[in-house]
Structure 1
Amino acid sequence: MKFVLNVIWLVLCGFWMAVGYVVAGLICCVLIITIPFGIASFRIANFALWPFGRTTVERRDAGAGSCIGNIIWIIVAGWWLTLGHIVTGIALCCTIIGIPLGIANFKLIPVSLMPLGREIVPTDQRFGNGW
């Protein structure tokens, strides 16, 4: 079932959301100081392409730098990417078959707002291996 949902997701909104993250990542990689934001954006682009069967968890070793970086990220790119998830989620929820995809879009909002200090893991590893 995850494969079918991922394929539908990819066709309806995953590709375009991933393009948004890649564009944000490329813009962030222009300056040396914002390269960590670009790397986080590319990581989320991969997650936005194929989200079902994976989830995000907080990293225990994330420190104050992640918090400060997330505040800067919200101002620079997080707000616009979150707005894309909200608009796409609402549009998908207008149809019965799109409701699970819309809910998945809404679940991507926290990671699009604050990507630093988070890690993408398979759902079966969410509570195992020290996470």
Structure 2
Amino acid sequence: MRLLLNLLWIVFGGFIIALEYLLGGLLLCLTVIGIPFGVQCFKLAGLGLMPFGKDIVDAPGSSSIGCILNVFWLLVAGIWIFLSHIGLALGLAVTIIGIPFAIQHVKLALLALAPFGKIVRPS
């Protein structure tokens, strides 16, 4: 079932979401300061490509630097990414078929708020 849902996700927008995060990550990695943020974009791209069957958990031993980077991420990009995923989730939740996809957008939205100190792992 996860495979079918992931394939439907990829066909109906997941591939574009992953490409956007990959492009953002590549652009951020062009500068030394942007590398940590680019790595987080790659994390979001992986989850954005195939979100079904994956969970987000807190990383053990998260540092205070990660907290500071999360605040900076939230102010610069996190809020806008969060709002776009919530808007897509609300649009998908209108139909019964769209509810599983809406749940995945909420998962992506929560990760987009504070990606530092989080790990994406198989469920």
**TM-score w.r.t. length of structure 2:** 0.91
Q: Which runs of 5+ in 1 are unaligned?
A: 124-131
Please show how residues 1-131 of structure 1 align to structure 2 within 5 Å. Answer: 1-123=1-123
Q: Deviations over 1:77-125 (max 9, x none)?
A: 21222122112111211222111111111122111111111111110xx
Residues 44 and 108 in structure 2, CA contact (< 8 A), matched pair in contact too: no
Q: How many residues align?
A: 123
- Deviation (angstroms), 1:35: 0.5
Q: Deviations over 1:49-90 (max 9, x none)?
A: 001111111011211011000011112221222122112111
Residues 86 and 106 in structure 1, CA contact (< 8 A), matched pair in contact too: yes
Q: Deviations over 1:25-56 (max 9, x none)?
A: 13322321120110111121011100111111
What is the RMSD of the two structures over their aligned residues, measured on CA atoms? 1.3
Query: Per the alignment, in what secondary structure is the counterpart of residue 94 of structure 2?
Result: coil
CA distance in 1, matches of 2:24, 2:75: 12
Q: Give 4+ residue runs of structure 1 displaced > 3 Å after superposition.
A: none
Identity score, percent: 40
Q: Which amino acid aligns with 2:66?
A: S
Query: Per the alignment, in what secondary structure is the counterpart of residue 108 of structure 1?
Result: helix
Q: Which runs of 5+ in 2 are unaligned?
A: none
Q: Which amino acid aligns with 2:114?
A: M
